[in-house]
Structure 1
Amino acid sequence: MFSKKHFTIMGLVCAMAVPAANAGAEGFAINEWSAEGVAMGGARMFAENDAANIAYNPASITKVQGEAFKQSAVYISPHGKYKAVRKDNGEIEEGKNVVHAGWAPGNYYVKQLNDREWFGIGLYSRFGMISEFERDSVVSSNAFFSRLNGASLTPTYARKFDKKWSAAIGAEVNYAGLELQKKSLTMYDAPTQTKGESWALGWNAAANYAFDAKNELGVVYRSKVTHSMEADFKAYLPNGVSIKTDAYGKVTLPDSWAIGYNHKFDDRTRVELNGTYTKWSSYDALDIDIKGLGTVASPKNWSNGWRYAIGAEHKLSDKYTIMGGYAYDESSIPFDGADFIVPTGARRTYSLGLQYHDKKQTLALTLGLIDIDGLRIKGHETDAYSEASTHDNYAKVFGISYQRNF
């Protein structure tokens, strides 16, 4: 349940784990869990000796030899513009987002217990976003600042049954810190803020099957997580009077299925294919009950959607590897459920990476570009615009990872 007063230490640490303007995956999902993962478009379910497998495919931590600790940070800088039709006079307002470049960090530890069992734990973000627009813009009636800080702590147990089968199961301690700011037309354009945080539990499971030495199939399921929110609501009226009261809301972070296929051409080159199906339909509304003021309804009615990715990895030598990837995210946001909290559509990600590795350590660097479609947004009764759209959206990506083997 949301604490009404202060963000916890973990929440503050995870504040950097939010790609700005939600430039990661579709909706407010994040899959930038390591530099290598970004370099391969997110298609990294079968990496050898990579502690970040905890995030991409827990069943593959059986590929880690001995003990490994990994840290990763992915920098994302988004850009975008919008047009909005004012309700009062029909004029078109043009503007752009306030750029919030951010970092998505990941921390992973894996230990091989014996020939058949592994334990791992990860701290990374599955969900998060930030968006901001000018406070005097017409779109501020919908949202001028929105932030979801997210973090998942995932203790994981994996077992290798034989040369073909491996599987894993893990718990998820999920943190969400939510802040929403907007101007309220029903309160004389008063700026309002709703802020709180929550902890909830989820789980995940994964399995790998190796057909032979060159071909492998994997499946990962991540459960939905439902957060109940007790928050602080504040409104700052034009006459200098401020209102402070309690608020309550509920949000469900969706469950997902990922399926991946790995093919090794030889000992130096391999390719992965990946498809992730996210059940965004569980995000049907973001309604907030404000004590003494009623309910602020915000229907979403998003549709379920797929993310497709392909990644390739080629060893130039015993110490250097190059990687490349492409990913396509379908848009799940309908016209009448869109808003300026998540104001972007389908995405195409292009990325390249380089990795250095020896027996004790691995260092990886990645560069990427996310080409983001615009989104048509219907104005609702509480918005100052009748219709809006976003355009010229893109994000620049840089990632770095370091792993130490023991």
Structure 2
Amino acid sequence: MKVFRAVCFALALVVCCAPVARGEGFALNEWSARGVSLAGGMVGRADDVSAIAYNAAGITQLPGTRLMGGFALISPSGNITTQMGGRETSTYTKPALWNAPHAYASHQLSDNAWIGMGVFSRFGLGNSYAGDWAGKSNVYDIGVQTISFVPTLALKLNDMLSVSVGVEVMNAHMYMGNKIYTVSPSSPTKPFYNDMQLEGNGWGYGAHLGLHMRLNDQWSVGLSYKSQVTMNINGDVEFAYKGRNLAASTLHLPQASNCSANTVLQLPDSAALGIAYKPLDNLSFELGTVWTRWSTYNALNIYMDNGYNSINNKEWRDGWNFNASVEYKPLDWWTLRAGFSYETPVVNESHADFMIPTNGRQTLSVGTGFNWNNWTMDLAYAHLWINSLDYSSTDAKGISGSAGITGGKSKDVSANIYMLSLSYTF
């Protein structure tokens, strides 16, 4: 009963604090403090309960019942320069501190079977600019929040090989605000920008597969796969100024009237490989890679009941993450960790917009862990150097054409991540 209550409390905490963050593309890997400090190097190790997110086959290494809960605080920053009419302006993103919580539980059923539950976020993004900035016709506020519930079964086939299967139930919440250049027939000489806000929710389903091999006491290999998730998002659109004759001439909007809207958000599948080496009982290394099929994200088209369709081509490229990490335990109660990862660019600059002003990144992370009795506390810090994105050749709406923006780029984009996880073993 105590285990059940603790799990319910942790899950409620995660659901109430839906995360928004920024990863390459908009994939997230802030799934535990230990995992972040190791730059994601938990696919081959997979030896704590957060393995449910990284490679759930690894929970067969965990006797008894395990719980973990925690959160990440993510602080991004950066600015975008734009050229309009021969002038260059620079706009900084609004200061923000995003919260990305996580919760896990595992339980050993028998010598060969384990069950687990993970609640975490695979995707998310959040950017906000001043309402009157140069790119307001494209976007001034955007957020995509997802939360995944992943019940999992792991089986130990023999002393070397374990496998897992999980069912993912994902909820997504999306909101977006932009300004539409509007010409009123009653005042054609006084055009203005009408505020349009969209908000919607949806559900999607997928699968997680895992494999973990302990080749000997020193070497282990992990493989994991997370499937595509198709999100059907339905919601509402609201305009600040409404009226049957309030038409946005440059965008061919029939009328500015509140209405319903829908979109299909195709979230990509991914596969991860990790090779872990443990030369000493208190020292381990891991090299890994994650492939994400961002080429499935080819468009974000929003259809509205007022007859206006927002067609946004994306045509992203598949992405790769390469990571390396080290973990050292100088004392029985104290652990030190460090990691580095490199992620390849995925955004197609021919269709680049201001929703995601990034294109590849590098991450350096450090962390520590403390053990006492049945408790473990892990702390992590990571700094992200994020590559700039060029807008000189984009055809995105609200940037090219009538918006008058002839070029620009994002620059000085970075993020800091502060993370805490608490674990308990029964």
Is TM (by shorter chain) over 0.5?
yes
Cα distance, 1:12 vs. partner? 9.1
Unaligned residue ranges in structure 2 (runs of 5+): 1-10, 184-191, 247-255
Cα distance, 1:345 vs. partner? 1.6
What amino acid maps onto 2:19 in structure 1?
A
For the 8 Å contact 2:302–2:309, the answer to whether it is kept is yes
SS at 1:141 equivalent: coil
Q: Could you tell me which of 274, 289, 300 is aligned with 1:286?
A: 300
Q: Could you tell me which of 268, 272, 285 is aligned with 1:254?
A: 268
Distance 1:157 1:167 in 2: 9
Alignment of 1:344-383 (within 5 A): 344-377=358-391, 378-383=394-399
Cα distance, 1:349 vs. partner? 0.7
Cα distance, 1:185 vs. partner? 2.6
Q: Percent identity?
A: 29
For the 8 Å contact 1:171–1:202, the answer to whether it is kept is yes
Q: Could you tell me which of 109, 113, 117 is aligned with 2:109?
A: 113
SS at 1:237 equivalent: coil
Q: Within the alignment, does 1:387 sit opposite 2:407 as a pair?
A: yes
Distance 1:389 1:11 in 2: 38
SS at 2:52 equivalent: helix
Q: Within the alignment, does 1:274 sit opposite 2:291 as a pair?
A: no
Distance 2:315 2:412 in 1: 25
* CA gap 1:186/1:298 in 2 versus in 1, 3 angstroms: farther
Q: Within the alignment, does 1:298 sit opposite 2:289 as a pair?
A: no
For the 8 Å contact 1:75–1:103, the answer to whether it is kept is yes
Q: Within the alignment, does 1:191 sit opposite 2:195 as a pair?
A: yes
For the 8 Å contact 1:46–1:53, the answer to whether it is kept is no
- Residue deviations 1:84-106, cap 9 Å, x none? 112xx232111110122111110
SS at 1:38 equivalent: helix
Distance 2:159 2:95 in 1: 49
For the 8 Å contact 1:11–1:177, the answer to whether it is kept is no
Cα distance, 1:49 vs. partner? 4.7
Aligned to 1:6: none
Aligned to 1:103: 99
* CA gap 1:12/1:212 in 2 versus in 1, 3 angstroms: closer
Cα distance, 1:380 vs. partner? 3.2
Aligned to 1:399: 419
Distance 1:321 1:238 in 2: 60
User: 162-171 or 230-239, which moves further after superposition?
Assistant: 230-239
Q: Could you tell me which of 233, 236, 239 is aligned with 2:237?
A: 233
- Residue deviations 1:199-240, cap 9 Å, x none? 111111011122221111111010000011221011223889
Give the TM-score normalised by structure 2: 0.88
User: 233-242 or 201-210, which moves further after superposition?
Assistant: 233-242
Cα distance, 1:333 vs. partner? 0.2
For the 8 Å contact 2:168–2:208, the answer to whether it is kept is yes
Distance 1:11 1:177 in 2: 17
For the 8 Å contact 1:326–1:350, the answer to whether it is kept is yes
- Residue deviations 1:306-339, cap 9 Å, x none? 0111111111111111000001111100111221
Unaligned residue ranges in structure 1 (runs of 5+): 1-8
What amino acid maps onto 1:389 in structure 2?
K
Distance 1:182 1:57 in 2: 39
- Residue deviations 1:174-208, cap 9 Å, x none? 11100011111356421111110001111110111
Aligned to 1:144: 140
What's the RMSD between the two structures over aligned residues? Answer: 1.9
Distance 2:74 2:308 in 1: 38
Q: Could you tell me which of 319, 322, 327 is aligned with 1:313?
A: 327
SS at 1:355 equivalent: strand
What amino acid maps onto 1:380 in structure 2?
A
- Residue deviations 1:99-119, cap 9 Å, x none? 221111100000011111100
* CA gap 1:391/1:238 in 2 versus in 1, 3 angstroms: farther
SS at 1:189 equivalent: strand
* CA gap 1:252/1:239 in 2 versus in 1, 3 angstroms: closer
Q: How many corresponding residue pairs?
A: 392
Q: Could you tell me which of 346, 354, 368 is aligned with 1:340?
A: 354
Aligned to 1:210: 214
